[in-house]
Amino acid sequence: MAEHAVSHAPAPLGGRLVTPVTVTLAALALAAAVVLAFRFIYGLGAVTNINDGYPWGIWVAYDVVVGSAFACGGYVMALLVYIFNKGEYHPLVRPALLASLFGYTLAGASVIFDLGRYWNFWHILTPGYAQVNSVMFEVAVCISLYILVMWIEFSPAFLDQLGFGGVKKKLSKAMFLFIALGVLLPSMHQSSLGSLLVIFGRQINPLWQAGYLLPLEYLMTAVLLGFAMVVFEATLVSVGFRRPLETALLSKLAKFIWGLLIAYLAVRVGDLLARGALGNAFRFTIEAASFWAEMLCFAIPAWLLAAQARRNNPGKLFAAAVLLMLGGFLLRINGFLVGYETGAGWHYFPALPELVVTIGLIAFEILAYIVLVKILPVLPAQSATH
């Protein structure tokens, strides 16, 4: 802990921007841009496999639903540091916020890629056009606002360099408001992403149709994913940029994760038992297999994180974080695609161009993260540790 106390203030990492890694990432992002150009010229049918039975594909199920949950690092760290007043985690806030910023901004952009008549997207934000009773409306407005709020939250990192020091000072007085919003808004829309499935009723396999518990399950896993993402990203940053591991801080965090994970598993399994839906898990179906994969991804971390010794092991901590991310991913993909049955004959599997866009977006996120931590004060300065 001592080393962090000295090196609390964030500083730019510096170093070369053009490396084999950044070039590869840029190439992947460029490929996505080419596919998107096709999509905007020739329409959704030209590049995706979505159809009348599956009007959304991975651009919604992964890029938006999973992507925004993966981007909950900023949300959970703000929750922890500012709401639960755990100041010792502060060094993790800004890097987490940066990852969230891109995760959410690209999730918002993905919605536009997936809109058939994207030129009408502004309708949902326009009073008179918007259908205020719709869950989709709540999600859209919340995510749009949260993207704005996050840019404001992150702005102290770049306002100085842009020569807006005065603005930064004024902003810092009102920052508590934006931080509060930054915690409120994701709590709203992450739960609403679960609510989206409620109205699909019997089209969703009973294994995932948790009804009024869906918002709670989605919110809990969003928080879990946020924490897992913080562990994942902090570990990768340490390994990738050859910085010392933040295991001490992360293993303390892992204790929170474990508590929440146990609570989530209680809700999830309790709900399945209460609804008598568990029978569906013992059939030879893709849904059942996917269900067990999802449950294992939550159960193994519950064991990994249970003991102090394993939490202190960065390898096991990292494995638990990856499995949790996979579990949250599967929960959402299962709910939105695998367990979503719209009628006989309809099926969906992403087309190659769809995958290229999704991979390109992820590559762009990582690329932007690498570039920005090198030029902006995001990561804690390391002078005292070397």
Partner 1 sequence: MGETIFDLGSGDGIPSTVENRLGISRREFLQFCTAMAATLGLPTGAEAAIAKAIEKARRPSVIWLHFQECTGCTESLLRAEHPTLEKLILDVISLDYHETLMAAAGHQAEAARRSAMQANKGKYVLVVEGAIPTRDNGIYCKIGGQKAVDMVKECAADAAALIAIGSCASWGGMPSTSPNPTGASSVSEVLGKPVLTIPGCPPNPYNFLSTVVHLLTFGKLPELDKLGRPLFAYSRLIHDNCERRAHFDAGRFALEYGDAGHRQGYCLYKLGCKGPETHANCPTILFGDAGAGCWPVGNGHPCIGCTEQGVGFTKPVHELAVLKNVVPPTSYPRVVEEQGHSSFAAAAALAAIAGAAAGGAAMLARNLGKAHEEADVGEKQE
- Residue 331 CB, nearest distance to partner 1 (Å)? 17
- Residue 360 CB, nearest distance to partner 1 (Å)? 12
Kindly state the tokens that stand for 135: 């869950």
Backbone angles phi, psi at 189, to 5 degrees: -80, -25
User: Would you say 212 or 346 has its CB closer to partner 1?
Assistant: 346
Which candidate, 237, 240, 249, places its Cα nearest to that of 317? 249
234 has which bridge partners?
none
Q: Which residues contact 57 (CB under 8 A, 6 or more apart)?
A: 48, 49, 50, 114, 337, 348, 350, 354
Kindly state the tokens that stand for 79: 């929750």
- Binding-site ranges for partner 1 (CB under 8 A): 49, 51-54, 235-236, 239, 245, 247, 312-316, 318-319, 322, 345-352, 354-355, 359
User: Would you say 285 or 313 has its CB closer to partner 1?
Assistant: 313
User: Would you say 173 or 386 has its CB closer to partner 1?
Assistant: 386
Backbone angles phi, psi at 257, to 5 degrees: -55, -45
Alpha carbon 112 to its chain centroid, in Å, reads 18
Q: How many residues does the chain have?
A: 386
User: Would you say 68 or 235 has its CB closer to partner 1?
Assistant: 235
User: Would you say 155 or 238 has its CB closer to partner 1?
Assistant: 238
Tell me which amino acid residue 220 is.
M
- Residue 135 CB, nearest distance to partner 1 (Å)? 25
- Residue 50 CB, nearest distance to partner 1 (Å)? 8
User: Would you say 217 or 354 has its CB closer to partner 1?
Assistant: 354
- Residue 359 CB, nearest distance to partner 1 (Å)? 7
- Residue 211 CB, nearest distance to partner 1 (Å)? 27
For tokens 């502060």, the residue is 90
3-state secondary structure 1-45: CHHHHHCCCECCCCCCCCCHHHHHHHHHHHHHHHHHHHHHHHCHH
